[in-house]
Amino acid sequence: MLPHLFRVHQVHRETVDTFTLQLDPVDERGAVSFVPGQFNMLYLPGAGEVPISVSGDPAQAKHLTHTIRSVGAVTKVMDKLKRGDLLAVRGPFGTHWPVEEAEGNDIVIIAGGLGLAPLRPAFYQVLSDREKYNKVVLLYGARTPQDLLYRHELERWRGLLDVQVEVTVDSPVGGWHGDVGVITTLIPRGHFDPARTVALVCGPEIMMRYTVMELEKREVSQNKIFVSIERNMKCATGFCGHCQLGPIFICKDGPIFRFDLVKDWLGKRDI
Amino acid sequence: MENFEQLLAAHSFFKGIDAKYISRLAEQATPVSFKAGEYIFHQSEKARQFYLLNEGKVAVEVPTLVHGSITIQTTGQNEILGWSWLFPPYTWHFDARAMEATNALVFDGEWLRGQCEEDHELGYAFMKRISETVVNRLQATRLQLLDVYGIHF
C-alpha cells in the first residue's frame, strides 16, 4: 500500500493535547472514503508513521478527518502542522464497527477519553439512519471537562430528542455542572433493552474491560459487544508482527473485534 | 400509599425484594423535593435519612477551604443517597446538593435500623442491597483513582 499525499485543510484544537486535522487529497489517488472504525497510517517524513482512526463523517466525502493526541515523537511533530502543510496517508485499513448489522436493535456507544474519535463516524452514521435503530445511547467519559472532545457537537447531540447522551468526568475542575464519576457509572442509567442491544466500546483497554463487566451486569451478551483494540500497529498489513495479540494481528484482523472472540487475550501479561 | 408502593417496587434498589416489605416500607416513606442548588445534608451532621431518588440529580461534595466544594460523585434517578444512617457514628461524611430539581422518598434511618434488627430477613435484604451499592461505588472510586485516561494506559 503506497502512501498518498494529503494537504492540511484545517487544524482544530480539541483539548490542550489533542487536535483534529482535516486533510484534502493532493490528487485523485488519495482516498477519503472509509467505513466507521477504520484507520489510516499517517506519515510525516523525518518523523515517522502512526496509525490513527478516522474520526469524520463517513457520508462526507470531501475531507479526511483525524483526531490525534500529541503523546509520542511523531504525533508531537504532527501537532505543529498548519494549513497547507503536506503529509502522507496509507489506508484506510482494518475492520469496522457493525453499524449496519446493528440495525433494528438498540445501539449503545460507550467512549472513554480519545475513544470518542473512532466512534464518532459510527455515531454520525447512526444519526443519519436514525429510523433504522430502536434506542440510541451515547455514553462518554473523560478525565476532566477540559479533556472532552467535540464539545459543540456533544451539546448539540444532547439536545436531540430521540437520542440519550450522557457525559461524565472523573475530576470536575473548572465550573463543571454535569455528572462526576467513571464511565461505568453511566451504564446503569442507559435507557436500553439489554436483550436487543449492540454495544460499541472504545477507550483505554482497562476502561473497556470494566465497561464490559458493567454491560454484562445488565445482561448484554458478550457477542453483542464490540471493542476497538489499538496496540503497537506499525505496518497495518499484518506483516511485521508488532501488533500480534495471541493468534490475532490487530492491524489486519481488527482493530474492531467482537468481545467474546478476544476476551481471553485481553489483560494477559507479556503478549 | 399505593403510589408509594408502586414507586418502591419500581425502584432498582428494591428489585427482587419480597412484596410484604414493600408495603411495610411504603407506610413509612415520605416524599421530599429539593430545588436546584439546595443542600440535602451537610458533612458532620447527624445522618438520619435514607433517600431513594426518583427524579433529578444530586452531587456528593467535599467542602474544602481552598477550592470550595469539590464534587466527587453524582447520583440520580433510580439510585440511592446516603448510607451513613446505617453505621456508627451515624454522621454524614459528605455534603449532598441537588444539582437540579430532585424528587425522592425519604425514610427515617433509625426506624429502618430497628426494622432490620427486628426482622433479620429484611435486614439481610437491606444489607445485601446496600453492600452492592457500596461495592459498586468502591470499584468506581478505584477506577477513578487509576486515572485510566492518562498516558500510562
| Nearest chain B CA: its distance from A142 CA (Å) | 7
For residue A180, the chain B residues in CB contact (below 8 A) are 59, 71-74
Residue with cell 451513613: B84
**pLDDT reading at B114 higher than 60:** yes
Domains of chain A and any CATH numbers: 4-93 (2.40.30.10), 106-228 (3.40.50.80)
In 3D, which of A183, A186, A8, A153 has the Cα closest to residue A80? Answer: A8
- B78 to chain A: closest CA residue: A189
In a domain, B151, yes or no: no
Confidence band for B151, pLDDT divided at 50, 70 and 90: low
In a domain, B153, yes or no: no
Nearest by CB to A112, which of B74, B140, B148?
Answer: B148
The number of CA neighbours under 13 Å toward the Cβ of A129 is: 19
Containing structural domain, residue B18: 2-146
Q: What is the pLDDT of residue B1?
A: 55
Q: Is B59 on the interface with A (CB under 8 A)?
A: yes
In a domain, B34, yes or no: yes
CA distance B98 to B51: 12
- pLDDT tens by residue, A193-204: 999 999 999 999
SS3 (DSSP) at A128: helix
In a domain, B152, yes or no: no
Q: How far is CA A146 from the centre of its chain?
A: 19
A182 and B99: CB-CB below 8 Å?
Answer: no
Between β-strands A164-169 and A136-142, what pairing exists: parallel, antiparallel or unpaired?
parallel
| Nearest chain A CA: its distance from B95 CA (Å) | 15
> What residues have CB less than 8 Å from A202, skipping those under 6 apart?
A110, A111, A112, A115, A116, A118, A119, A208, A227, A228
Number of folded domains that form chain B? 1
Q: What is the pLDDT of residue A270?
A: 67
Question: pLDDT tens digits, chain A, 271 residues: what are they?
Answer: 788 999 999 999 999 999 999 999 998 877 778 999 999 999 999 999 999 999 999 998 789 999 999 999 999 999 999 999 999 999 899 999 999 999 999 999 999 999 999 999 999 999 999 999 999 999 999 999 999 999 999 999 999 999 999 999 999 877 788 999 999 999 999 999 999 999 999 999 999 999 999 999 999 999 999 999 987 788 888 888 888 888 888 888 889 999 999 988 887 776 6
Chain A residues at the B interface, defined by Cβ less than 8 Å, are 71, 112-114, 141-143, 147, 168, 170-172, 176-182, 184-185, 188-189, 203-207, 210
Q: In this structure, what CATH number is given to the domain that contains residue B62?
A: 2.60.120.10
Cell numbers for A66, please give them: 483525524
| Nearest chain A CA: its distance from B135 CA (Å) | 12
In a domain, B131, yes or no: yes
Phi-psi map region of B16: left, alpha, beta (phi>0 left; psi -120 to 50 alpha): left
**pLDDT reading at B98 higher than 60:** yes
A147 and B76: CB-CB below 8 Å?
Answer: no
Q: What is the pLDDT of residue A95?
A: 94
CA distance A172 to B34: 22
Q: What is the pLDDT of residue B2?
A: 59
